[in-house]
Amino acid sequence: MKILIIFLLLNGEKGIVKTELKPYEFCSDKATEFSYFKENENYKPGNGQVWIYRYFEGNRVGAIYCLTIDKKYLVSYYDPEYEKNKKKGRK
């Protein structure tokens, strides 16, 4: 299933990646292929800060979501059986 991964960056911009989910793959798993994690240098247990941040192209990520290519539907998981039955009119 072809999808768009939308990275909402903390600098106010969006990062968009066009990719494909394999059967039974989650959007969050696929997003990890295009981003990386970096430890927060200011983190200390109990100081209220997070231990690790996600980055996309050098920018901190605030949130991630996936859309269908036509941008009409949110995608979290690809189940090919569901898609096959949906096309036949069954739910």
Average pLDDT taken over every residue of the chain: 93
Buried b (16+ CB within 10 A) or exposed e, 48-57: eeeeebbebe
DSSP structural state of residue 26: B
Per-residue pLDDT at 80: 87
Tens digits of residue pLDDT in 14-34: 999 999 999 999 999 999 999
Per-residue pLDDT at 60: 97
